[in-house]
Every structure is written in C-alpha cells, then in structure tokens.
Structure 1
Amino acid sequence: MTEAVRGAARAWRPRVWPLLAVCALIFAPLRAEADCLLVADAADGRVLLETGTCDERVTPASTFKLALAAIAFDAGVLKGAHDPMMTYREGEIAWGGDKWRGDIDPEAWLERSVVWYSQRLVRALTPERVSRTLRALGYGNADLSGDPDAGRGPEWSWIASSLKISASEQMAFLRELDAGTLDLDPAAMSQALALLPAYDGGEGWRVKAKTGGAFRLRPDGGVDRSRGWGWFVGRAEKGAERLLFVRQVIETNGARGSPGRRVRDDVLARWPVIAREALAAR
C-alpha cells in the first residue's frame, strides 16, 4: 500500500451526520454478530460512509480471488478472460455442484467462485510467492500457512483459516487496485477488475463486485454453521459517479446457504439508498 493512500485513508473520515435511518435500512434484514459497511469515492479515495466494526480481521473467503487474479495476471499465469481453460478433476472440491465441474476459464472462475481453480493458481504461483506479494500489497496478514494440524495447508488458507483481512484493509486494497497504484502491472490490475461479476444496482447503477462466504470448518472437514462470514466487495457506477464499497458481516444464526450471497442480495436491494447517503456526505 502506498504511503499516499495510507495518508489519504487517515485524513479523510466520513463526516459526522445522522446515520440512524440508513443503518436501519442497511442492517435490518441480516441477523449478525458484527457488521461493516464502507463506501468511498473512487475519484479520490475519500470514505463517505462508514458504519459498524471495520477493523477486525476475518477470513476473506472468496473475495481473495480478486487479489489472486491480479497477482496471477501480473505473473502471466492468467492470460485473459478465457485463458487458461482448466478442466475439473475427480476428487477436487465441487461444493458448487455441476457448475464447478467441466471446463472453467478465468471469467467463470470468478463468476461461479470456483475453489479448485484458485487452488491450482496458488500451486502454480507457489504459496511463498503469493504470500510475499500479498505482504507487499498490504493485503491483511498475508498468512497462507493454512491449518497444517487439520490437514489443510496453504490451498485452504483463505477459507476460514490463516489468511485474514479487515474491511478497512479490503477498502485500501480495492482503492489502490481501482486506481492502478499497486506494485503490479497496470494491465494485470485492469484485467482482474474486468473479471468481477456484474449486477444491476437499481436506479441506473451498475455494480461489479465479488462475494465471499465461509463457515468454520470442523476437524473432520465438516461445516460448523454456528459462525459464518459474508462479504461483498467492489465498485458501482452511474454516469459520472463511481463508488467503491466493502460490506462484511459475521453471522451467528446458523443459517444455511452462503453468507456471501445473503450479503450480496442485501446490498443490491438497498444500493440506491446506500449510494444516496454516501453521495450526500461529500
């Protein structure tokens, strides 16, 4: 992370103004132990809206794919939206069912959030190189050690394991990635951002963002749904307006399904309200 961006992040804080209405609209549907919402102006990185606890490091889950994509494009392991195409091998993770099987290219990897494709990229790049690059980019604790005692090494590190990042750190990383100021090839950063899935944000807003969802993993490899993490991280555009956002929740309600998809659906349903409140704070 550049010193200039660190300084900007420290200097620009959201103005103090009544947030009760927007907080009620944003947080009411999700039953969570902790929430964070950050919205920043993409033009200068100013944080326009900040609610909740945003400095606690938690698993990035599949939002890590955005950083991994940028690193892999920079290294030449990824070459384009459809290159390389990789084919599922029996025995690899297929939590997503049939849509994770068959042929997967980089575009489908991010859109379908395919874990085995990420694992192959980490192997190709080597965990040491990925960790070293994450550290240089200021991406959380950059710890890809995983849980060796549980038989889950670096290729599991971003799934409720050793790699952790706070919402504030996610925003700092996203700001530099969007601005093209990370110590990576500019084309690699643009290619990574171009892979983000696109959504209709309502009222003319176009949202491009990555979900992330994970539960605790038990020693036997099963899922402990008593604690889940959900993310939705990306940017939104409407005409000349460009906003960056990070939404993160910690769920303790034992709900089934992906926390990341719940967070995504919640943000998209409320995006026009969130955007209006953020822009009003400028």
Structure 2
Amino acid sequence: MKNRIAFIGLFSLFSMAHAAEICMAIADAGSGAVVLQRGDCRNQVTPASTFKIAISLMGYDAGFLKDEYTPERPYQPGYVDWLPSWKHPTNPQKWMKDSVVWYSQHLTRSLGKERFAAYTRKFEYGNANVAGDAEHDGLTMAWISSSLRISPLEQLIFLRKVVNRQLDVTQHAYAMTEALTKQDKPLAGWELHGKTGAASGFGWYVGWASKKGKTYTYARLMRRDASDPQDVSAGVLARDGFMAQFPALIGSIAP
C-alpha cells in the first residue's frame, strides 16, 4: 500500500496504538529508508520544542553555547514562564531537559533574524519558514504554533543529517547536541537521544536510537484527546507512548 510499509505478523501490535496517535515513523539512519510508517506522516505541523535540536546546533556552531553548563542565564520577570521550572537560572542542559522557551528565545535573538533564517534554510528544516505571523514574532516564536512547520517524515530527514553530521556545523555542535539529548538509561539495549515537543494540542517525541553501530531515527506525533491526562504535556505523552512500544517495534525491525 502506498506510503505504508507492512510487516508480517505485526497487525495486532499496530492496532493497539493509541487512538490519538497521528504518526509513528522509523528510518534507517544509514540508508535513509523508512522501515516503519503508520498513520499520517506527511502533514506538516508545528515542531514546538523538538526544534531545540536545531537551535542547539545553531547555538553551539555560532559560539553562543559553550558546553553542557555554559552559559547559565538568570531568569528575569517578563520572560516566558509557562512552567514553574522555568523561573530559575538555566544552562544548556536544563534548557534541553526542561524545554525552557525563554532560553531558546535568548539564543535566537543572539543569532539575529538573518542568521537564524539562514541556519533554518541550510538545515532544510520542514518548510524553513521562520517569518512568524500576525500574532507571533518569527525570531522568538516561529516554531511554536506559528509559521515553521514540519512533518514526521521531514523530522526523520533532518535527524538523519544530524546523526551523519551532514549539516555543515562544527563537530563541537554535533557532540554537544548529542550530549544534551541523550536519555538517562538505555532502552532494550539501545542508547536513545530524543526531544519532546508540545503545542496546539500536538505532542512530539523525536530522536534516534543506536546499538552496536546501527542507528535508527524516529518520530512520533500524537494529538491530545479527552482520555489523556490533562495535567501532562502532550510531548510527555508522546514520549511515554513511544517508550512503551519501542522494544516491540525495534525488535520487529532490527535483527
């Protein structure tokens, strides 16, 4: 069937996917071949905080970010503070872990409109549109429910370039971004790097999994529904759903 890869014997597993799941896609990072695709994986939506992977590469490449802990910036009244955890001094590690929007905004302002837009175009990130809209300034909000949009399959294309270091940024930028996105514990023997994202009811979890020299990129996109816990980020829901399914999914793909 067009736009779908079938796996013998996996119908029962896939039918158990959450009703709110929009797409689950996994690709071989070496060849780029999509080895698992279910749902609508071509429609572009806001990347939300998954765009922090791209911002991290920009920030380290431009020299504004130094290592996992430098620079640390103090919280100031007036900063975006949607979550209590954002009202604290923030360094790159905390920024990525807690998805601190104001730290992202500090980085993009430091880049400036032209350089920020040039990086996004160079990365060929989704529609690469960081102009913003009538309600959102492009430099500080393009990736949150605004002009920048990306599909799950485009996430895989971008992530493959990250994994294979094909984005024309410094080696330090790749190494630090890998460090910031590394998950605390292996899962089913695989080392995971990932980032959540949530906006406009969408929840993302994207990244890559590596084991014994083999790497797969992945993207899960869902939409919150009434049955989901309303006090949990849609990105966390997307991540937890992916983690629960990952051992069976990777077992069906990897030898």
Tell me if 1:170 matches 2:155: yes
1:120 deviates by 0.5
**Aligned-partner Cα distance in 2 for 1:231–1:85:** 27
1:241 deviates by 3.9
**Aligned-partner Cα distance in 2 for 1:151–1:206:** 36
Which consecutive unaligned segments of at least 5 residues does structure 1 have? 1-12, 216-227
Number of equivalent positions: 250
1:116 deviates by 0.3
1:75 deviates by 0.8
1:240 deviates by 4.2
Residue equivalent to 2:251: 276
TM-score of the pair, normalised by structure 1: 0.82
When residues 202 and 191 of structure 1 are mapped into structure 2, their CA distance, relative to the original with a 3 A threshold, is: closer
When residues 71 and 152 of structure 1 are mapped into structure 2, their CA distance, relative to the original with a 3 A threshold, is: closer
Which consecutive unaligned segments of at least 5 residues does structure 2 have? none
1:83 deviates by 1.1
**Aligned-partner Cα distance in 2 for 1:14–1:46:** 12
The correspondence of residues 36-55 of structure 1 with structure 2, limited to 5 A, is: 36-55=23-42
Q: Aligned match of 1:251 in 215, 224, 243? A: 224
**Aligned-partner Cα distance in 2 for 1:198–1:101:** 24
Post-superposition CA distance 1:35-71 (Å, at most 9, x none): 1111122333332111111111100000000001001
Tell me if 1:192 matches 2:177: yes
Query: What secondary structure, in the 3-state scheme, does the structure 2 residue paired with 1:236 have?
Result: strand
Aligned partners of 1:199 and 1:208 also within 8 Å: no
Q: Aligned match of 2:66 in 79, 83, 101? A: 79
**Aligned-partner Cα distance in 1 for 2:34–2:144:** 28
Counterpart amino acid of 1:177? Answer: V
Tell me if 1:17 matches 2:7: yes
* Alignment RMSD: 2.1
The correspondence of residues 231-270 of structure 1 with structure 2, limited to 5 A, is: 231-253=204-226, 255=228, 256=230, 257-270=232-245
1:91 deviates by 1.4
**Aligned-partner Cα distance in 2 for 1:121–1:133:** 13
Tell me if 1:120 matches 2:93: no
Q: From the two aligned structures, give the one with the greater strand fraction.
A: 1
**Aligned-partner Cα distance in 2 for 1:14–1:200:** 31
Post-superposition CA distance 1:245-271 (Å, at most 9, x none): 111123354852311000001111111
| Larger CA deviation: 190-199 vs 111-120 | 190-199
Counterpart amino acid of 2:55? Answer: L
**Aligned-partner Cα distance in 1 for 2:167–2:159:** 10
Percent identity reads: 36
When residues 161 and 254 of structure 1 are mapped into structure 2, their CA distance, relative to the original with a 3 A threshold, is: farther
Query: What secondary structure, in the 3-state scheme, does the structure 2 residue paired with 1:122 have?
Result: helix
Post-superposition CA distance 1:178-210 (Å, at most 9, x none): 001112223212221221041445432332200
Post-superposition CA distance 1:201-239 (Å, at most 9, x none): 543233220000112xxxxxxxxxxxx111101112344
Counterpart amino acid of 2:236? Answer: R
**Aligned-partner Cα distance in 1 for 2:48–2:150:** 10
Q: Aligned match of 2:139 in 148, 154, 158? A: 154
**Aligned-partner Cα distance in 1 for 2:136–2:161:** 35
Query: What secondary structure, in the 3-state scheme, does the structure 2 residue paired with 1:83 have?
Result: coil
Q: Aligned match of 1:68 in 55, 70, 77? A: 55
The correspondence of residues 88-237 of structure 1 with structure 2, limited to 5 A, is: 88-97=75-84, 99-147=85-133, 149-150=134-135, 152-200=137-185, 202-215=187-200, 228-237=201-210
Aligned partners of 2:209 and 2:216 also within 8 Å: yes
Aligned partners of 1:42 and 1:244 also within 8 Å: yes
